[in-house]
Structure 1
């Protein structure tokens, strides 16, 4: 066996501008790691590295240079891969400063070990026998645009909505929440909001008290990450359950994860494998959350269907799930064709829809 690693850059284009509190997105670049045995080049494991500009720990100018170097180092090691040595390989080759590359290599290795069929973790989900409940994501924009999205998500069967807030006037955002609650009570439609750290500490409690009147499930990251003392106090007294999101980014050591959760004691954490260093780091967060009686859910972070597929298959190992944040595969005009589809507020793995990687393979590989 002589294993080779390279990567393919790929620009994903949004169907419409994706509005967040950090601005609107029109496109996003992902890098697809390919692993294959040179003696059997038709068996290829794919993994996606998709750092998010302004958010990822590894959003840095030398990202592609580092990825190229890691591919070369992996190839030069002439490894034999087994499931048991995947964590060892990751620890030996890739710095924790590059969480999206950790995720990409981890899932590429698992795909390769499963025969290069995009099966990271076989389950009743990949057999087409189970679906995963997901939330419908409402992007930031004008009040009319957000209202239009809400109506569409409800029309197609979503019962949990997640609204990005913090970009338009707070009163307009409250009006949108009131509109939903006037039509649907909390036992019929669940509402989550995500502030992406948009609130100032001095106003946070007042805004949480106002938001709590709309019977919301939770709010993600109400204040900017890195203010753990204030956030701990907020979580202790909040009238609305708080979910940590950006606060988890960059916490790569087990003991640091534990200290953060122990100090802040949030009601929930949101796990994004691309931003947190892959599946094994999510395992650590989930184990710690269980010990500290903290709820959690898993969310994709604007990956293509390659990354979303890996995250969904990882998520499917858990039973009795609340709605997860796995609906972003529909965002792009040039996504990778896959068995993944969304129907009635659930993510499906439809075996009648095979993978088609032709659009990806037109790009020149980096080595």
Structure 2
């Protein structure tokens, strides 16, 4: 691609159908709307860059009834503009053109422009995941549901060779959840299987410490968002005295004062979801600030299609992550976009021998 070009933009909406009722702290999901953004140069229309804007229901700050209408308005306004097709300029330009209250649109535009700059080959920037087909370790996610459904998932993930399991808790009786975790621990030590839990803010500040102590007895690696977001003082107190590491997740959404949050709470880890946090540039800044403070991090997809999952995987790879990431959502849907992304033995891979389905 030339160093700069006058571009046009359009989008395609697809409603993705879950393979099962996906239980979350915000209810059960059966379908999921995603918006694929296309960027192209009218002088060379056969080369296209694709990105994904996919606000998550009841969680993304840009999940709103008029989202598609707003997306069309922004893409129409950007069509006819000239863009410098180099990574630093793309990221800064998108930050300037799209307000922070539209994080998923920022992410989708960044990805589409970076893909176009690379010739429309779904490679966003240098990274071992794409360039050398280096696998990224990921956690096997256990969805909320009744005991039998969760136990079935645990057995499946163990059989598939995952050595890091993440279980969502807070949906059923806490004692039943403890029993499921005890079941895994009775079979595998912490050296064999890393266990993470995600409470999605289910605990009150008053009960959190006692529940964390019970979890810590099972050699849990970490807990995500034990109490609901926005309680900085209470979360700081909990992080100071916690018997197991705490990772902030929902706490980061919509926060522009990154330094203030990290310095006020001082968590052990943070969870990075580019779709919710404002894309690649914002995620890079969170990583830099966390590493300066000795705070751990890992990246997680937020139920995107394979276009978004590919982008997040490449970003995680480019940032030289060494621990399991939360990148295993590609198999959730009946009608996901066919792609080179494969999950084998607890890792996600990019297999260049498999082509991409054309978005329609």
Q: Does the alignment reach a TM-score above 0.5?
A: yes
TM-score band (shorter)? over 0.9
The equivalences for 1:91-130 within 5 A come to 91-130=95-134
- Farther-moved stretch of structure 1 (53-62 vs 272-281): 53-62
In structure 1, C-alpha distance between the alignment counterparts of 2:182 and 2:92, rounded to whole Å = 51
Match of 2:39 among 30, 35, 38: 35
In structure 1, C-alpha distance between the alignment counterparts of 2:325 and 2:244, rounded to whole Å: 19
* Correspondence 1:180 to 2:181: no
Q: Which moved more, 1:56-65 or 1:183-192?
A: 56-65
- Equivalent pair of 1:159/1:190 in contact (CA under 8 Å): yes
Q: Give the superposition deviation at 1:156.
A: 0.8
CA distance 1:184–1:315, shift in 2 (3 Å): same
> TM-score, normalising length from structure 2?
0.97
Match in the other structure for 1:22: 26
Q: Distance in 2 between matches of 1:6 and 1:129?
A: 30
Deviation at 1:77, TM superposition (A): 2.4
In the alignment, the residues of structure 2 paired with residue 220 and residue 92 of structure 1 have an alpha-carbon distance, to the nearest angstrom, of 32
What is the CA deviation profile of residues 147-198 of structure 1, one whole-angstrom value per residue up to 9, with x for unaligned ones? Answer: 0100000001000000011011111000001111111111110100001111
- Between the aligned partners of 2:122 and 2:133, the Cα distance in structure 1 is 17
Find the counterpart in structure 2 of residue 74 from structure 1: 78
Measured against aligned partners, the alpha-carbon deviations of 1:315-337 in whole angstroms (never above 9, x if no partner) come to 11133510000001111111111
1:224 to 2:228 alignment:
yes
Q: Which one of the candidate residues 42, 64, 71 is aligned to 2:68?
A: 64
Matched, 1:155 2:156: no
Residue of structure 1 aligned with 2:88, choices 57, 62, 84: 84
Distance 2:54 2:234 in 1: 31
How far the C-alpha of 1:80 sits from its partner, in A, is: 4.5
* 1:132 correspondence with 2:133: no
Kept after mapping to 1: 8 A contact 2:84/2:90: no
Unmatched segments (≥5 aa) in structure 2: none
State the Cα distance separating 1:76 from its structure 2 match: 3.6
Q: Distance in 2 between matches of 1:79 and 1:131?
A: 33
Residues 124-159 of structure 1, C-alpha deviations (whole Å, 9 max, x = no match): 321344110000000011101100100000001000
Query: Do the aligned partners of 2:205 and 2:227 also contact (CA within 8 Å) in 1?
Result: yes
- CA change 1:6–1:320 in 2 (3 A) is closer
Q: Is the 8 A contact 2:111 2:311 kept in 1?
A: yes
RMSD of aligned Cα (Å) = 1.2
Partner of 2:292: 291
Cα distance per residue 1:174-231 (max 9 Å; x no partner): 0001111111111110100001111112211111111111110000001110011100
SS in 2 for 1:205: helix
Deviates more, 1:181-190 or 1:120-129: 120-129
> Does the alignment pair 1:268 with 2:272?
no
In the superposition, relative to structure 1, how do residues 79 and 291 fare at CA in structure 2: closer, same or farther (>3 Å)? Answer: closer
* Contact 2:342-2:348 within 8 A present in 1 as well: yes
Q: Does residue 331 in structure 1 map to residue 335 in structure 2?
A: no
Relative to structure 1, the CA distance from residue 82 to residue 122 in structure 2 (aligned partners, 3 Å threshold; closer, same or farther) is closer
1:194 aligned partner: 198
Q: Assess if the C-alpha contact under 8 Å between 1:127 and 1:351 holds in 2.
A: no
Distance 2:354 2:284 in 1: 30
Q: How many residues align structurally?
A: 356
User: More displaced, 125-134 or 179-188?
Assistant: 125-134
**Residue 284 (structure 1) shift:** 0.6
Aligned residue number for residue 365 of structure 1: none
1-structure distance, mates of 2:191, 2:11: 46
Secondary structure of 1:18's aligned partner: strand
**Structure 1 unaligned regions, length at least 5:** 362-367
